[in-house]
Amino acid sequence: MPELPEVETTVNFLQKRIIGKKIIDAWTDYQAHKFSFCGGFENFKKEIIGKKIEGVFRRAKNILIKLDNKKILLIHQKMTGHLLYGRWEKTDKKILGANKWKSAWISLKPSALNDVYNDYLHFMLFLSNGKQIAMSDLRKFGKIRIYNSLDVIEELKKLGPEPLNKNFTWQILKTLLKKKKQSIKKVLMDQETISGIGNIYSDDILWCAKVHPLKKSYQLKDEEIKNIFLCIKKILKEAIKYGGTSIQDYRKPNGEKGYYQKKRKVYKREGQICQRCKKGIIKRIKISGRSSFFCSICQRQK
DNA sequence: TGCAGTGTTGCTTC
DNA sequence: CGAAGCAACACTGC
């Protein structure tokens, strides 16, 4: 679910709070195969318990937590993951409500926002400061791994450049786009071309750049590539400034909403009037199975 | 009731 | 090799 701005917001939040703290315990009710990469959850615990957190980083949509045994804990929230920070208590009873599990965990400081996610907590780290990092993950697609420093570099090597890095230039973008035969919408979302952009921000970036989402990546003119380049930086920075998008369910680790959804240009605005030209109607089309929204006038040229 | 749709990625198949 | 389709899973809305 979260794209670069949401992961960046989450990482910035955690950086201020968990560096220097120790992991003292861990819990999960994910299926065992989620931890088969290291021979099961008990082995996973042995790798992390007693270790101090030295840093929190983001690469693409991955959250990286560096431990003082030179290992890296990698968390990818995928579609519905939310990394939360707070205090929860385990209840003994699991109440089976109308067709769904009631949570085994309750917030110690009840908050309407965090409580929404308590039913879907599937992973938790207990820290030496009495706080917990909890992964809410309705669809259970989340990825949790532990790597040696060198292995994580290998794992992340295939990802495309970070779009907000200063050394990411429009000429680099041009080289990447010329190599691809697919639509610009699909290419922007390809993590091995550029990292961190997903369905929401690719739509808003293309609206900003006035480029039709179905236009072939290699056919774009220099002018269009420059616009896309500027819009990538602009839209992503704006989204980070507003704390990410909470259009459906993204929350900061303390449960607060982001505000980019109020600023979004076209994503999920089918049928509305374009904010810029005031004439075009926002259309929705399918591009390789994903919804794509665009202005029928501003982004007309295929 | 049933089925399409949902912000991601990675594996299989062609 | 690239591209397409689908699976992982659970819920919502039409």
Residue pLDDT, tens place only, A112-165: 777 778 888 999 999 999 999 999 998 899 999 999 988 888 889 899 999 999
Positive or negative torsion for Cα A121, A122, A123, A126? positive
Q: Are A111 and A257 in contact (CB under 8 A)?
A: no
Mean pLDDT (chain A, rounded):
89
pLDDT at site A96:
53
Mean pLDDT of A99-116: 74
Q: Name the strand (E) or helix (H) holding A240.
A: helix A222-241
Mean pLDDT of A210-231: 96
- Which residue has the closest alpha carbon to C8 C1'? A141
pLDDT at site A99:
47
How many C-beta neighbours within 10 Å does residue A208 have?
22
Task: Find the nucleotide nearest A183 (Cα to C1′).
Answer: C3
pTM for the structure as a whole = 0.93
Mean pLDDT of A264-287: 90
- Which residue has the closest alpha carbon to C3 C1'? A182
A205, pLDDT greater than 60: yes
pLDDT at site A102:
60
Name, in order, each residue with C-beta under 8 angstroms of A159's C-beta and a sequence gap of 6 or more.
Answer: A59, A60, A191, A192, A195
Rounded to whole angstroms, the Cα distance separating A291 from A299 reads 16
Q: Please identify every residue of A annotated as catalytic.
A: 2-3, 61, 290
Q: Is the CB of A199 under 7 A from strand B?
A: yes
Mean pLDDT of A164-185: 95
Band the pLDDT of A198: cuts 50, 70, 90.
Answer: very high
Please report residues contacting nucleic strand C, using a CB cutoff of 7 A: A 31, 78-79, 99-101, 119, 138-141, 180-182, 186, 288-289
Query: Helices A222-241 and A199-209 meet at what angle, rounded to 10?
Result: 130
Mean pLDDT of A80-99: 75
A262, pLDDT greater than 80: no
CA A79 to C1' C8, in angstroms, rounded, equals 11
Mean pLDDT of A2-23: 94
Q: Is the CB of A48 under 7 A from strand B?
A: no
Rounded to whole angstroms, the Cα distance separating A74 from A62 reads 7
A98, pLDDT greater than 50: no
CA A268 to C1' C13, in angstroms, rounded, equals 15
Q: Are A145 and A37 in contact (CB under 8 A)?
A: yes
A50 vs A101 pLDDT, higher one: A50
pLDDT at site A116:
78
Band the pLDDT of A92: cuts 50, 70, 90.
Answer: low
pLDDT at site A241:
87
Rounded to whole angstroms, the Cα distance separating A118 from A112 reads 10
Give how far Cα A216 sits from Cα of A15, A56, A65, A207, A288, Å: 39, 37, 38, 16, 14
A252, pLDDT greater than 90: no
| Start-to-end Cα distance in chain A | 28
Mean pLDDT of A262-285: 88
